[in-house]
Structure 1
Amino acid sequence: MKVGLFFGSFNPIHVGHLILANAMLQNGNLDEVWFVVSPHNPFKKKNTLLHEFDRLDMVNAAIEGNFKFRSSDIEFRMPKPSYTVDTLAYLSSKHPHFDFKLIVGEDNLSGFKKWKNYEIILNDYGLLVYPRPKVKESDLREHENVKMIDAPMVDISATFIRNSIKEEKDIRYLVPEGVLKLINSRSFYE
């Protein structure tokens, strides 16, 4: 089985994430996409994150009913901050018959060589890359294990959504209905 791993803080998950995951599924020759909720991204400030279980609940609400999408809390039980290469190694040991691919935005390519053991990720797993606006060119685009995937150019940010909530603006078309219900019922980001 070929599985695309879509890592993120998902703070909150929004329709852009789902559009991209579906495009990866359709155009990346995948059987499933797993949303790997990161408890702490080493490149982000921790104090801006909702609790990891709240973010996992939002992911589950967002993907409910789509049997080709799964959530994963694997990094909750790993040392923090979590590194993608360690998570990939762990998942591969747990699921040796799965072919894992890492899903990333094109904006990640220019800094990808700063990732811990990026060569292992490239050589052992490979990247499925979705387009992002205004990105720097990267020589990694030409790497044999980097596949550019045809996907819509989605430029919705979780920061914009969080700020909109603080300003008491309507976000109903930016997040799935189940996510909106959780945000409202638990007073997230207020």
Structure 2
Amino acid sequence: MTALKQPRSVTLSAAHQIPFHTPGMRVGLLGGSFNPPHQAHRAISRFAINRLQLDRVWWLVTPGNPLKDSNGLRELAQRAGAARKLADDPRIDVSCLESVIDTRYTVDTITYLRRRCAGLRLVWIMGADNLAQFHRWEDWRRIADQVPFAVIDRPPQGFRALAAPAAKALERYRIAEGCAATLAERRAPAWVFLTGMKSALSSTGLRNPDGSWKASLAK
């Protein structure tokens, strides 16, 4: 596992990168490159707020995904700015925390937040396409042990995701979809697979072959 790096300025900087919160708040974490952000990110967040009974969703804009080619990845500030503009919802906050704590690994981010926001009820949110490759994430079992997570079905990814190694390994910790509203209060490991959110949008589909954003998203 990659150690959690902490620059000398991390304490001051992180204070401005962790969104406003109060003890007991139920917060969903949606990580990604947001290259570019799109309406499915917003729709997934609102869907999760409703189904999981969350108070907020934090979009964690990563400096770069270790499992993806970084060619064509726009500057972090540009991606974060576009995400803030798109979110347009007081319940959605955008953070560049991972650049502050100098990591690209979700396990480091969750560890950091659990140490500094111990009173929060955190839930990691991912699409079914991410569950399909969850077993490739850095220290994925530790992630599952630290925070409950919700998987949003993204047809036709669902069947493949539920047959993937991580889903199989964690099957006994999966809760019924009807109990989704209790997920934030549960002790990890615990996860739920949510259906009913239909969107075919993806950041990949909104990029040109050279990696640039479509003209309508470039502003």
TM-score, structure 1 length as denominator? 0.81
AA at the equivalent of 2:50: Q
Structure 1 unaligned runs (5+)? 172-179, 185-190
Residue-pair matches, total = 172
Alpha-carbon spacing, 1:52–1:168, altered in 2? closer, same or farther (3 Å): closer
Matched position secondary structure for 2:119: coil
Q: 1:27 is paired with a residue of what secondary structure?
A: helix
Partner residue of 1:25 out of 49, 54, 59: 49
Whole-angstrom distance in 2 between the partners of 1:96 and 1:52: 27
- In the alignment, is the contact (CA less than 8 A) between 1:24 and 1:151 conserved in 2? no
- TM-score relative to the length of structure 2: 0.71
Which of the residues 111, 114, 117 maps onto 1:89?
111
Query: Where in structure 2 are there 5+ consecutive unaligned residues?
Result: 1-24, 175-189
Question: Is 1:77 paired with 2:100?
Answer: yes
2:59 is the counterpart of 1:14: no
Q: Does the aligned pair in 2 maintain the 1:28–1:149 contact within 8 Å?
A: no
Q: State whether residues 105 and 129 of structure 1, in contact with CA within 8 Å, keep that contact through their aligned partners in structure 2.
A: yes
Q: Is the 8 A contact 1:2 1:31 kept in 2?
A: yes
SS of 1:42's equivalent in the other structure is coil
Q: Does 1:41 align with 2:65?
A: yes
Distance 1:165 1:68, change over 3 A: farther
1:41 is displaced (CA, Å) by 0.4
Counterparts in 2 of 1:130 and 1:169: CA distance versus 1, 3 Å: closer
The structure-2 alpha-carbon separation of the partners of 1:89 and 1:61, relative to structure 1 and needing over 3 Å to count, comes to same
Does structure 1 residue 143 correspond to structure 2 residue 173? yes
When residues 26 and 127 of structure 1 are mapped into structure 2, their CA distance, relative to the original with a 3 A threshold, is same
Q: Which amino acid aligns with 2:99?
A: F
Contact 2:72 2:212 in 1 (8 A): no
Aligned to 2:28: 4
Counterpart of 2:47, as a letter, is A
Q: Which residue of 2 aligns with 1:126?
A: 148
Sort the Cα spacing of 1:168 and 1:21 in 2 relative to 1 into closer, same or farther, 3 A.
closer
Aligned CA-pair RMSD: 2.3
* Cα distance in 2 for residues equivalent to 1:51 and 1:146: 33
The 1-side partners of 2:123 and 2:77 are apart by: 25
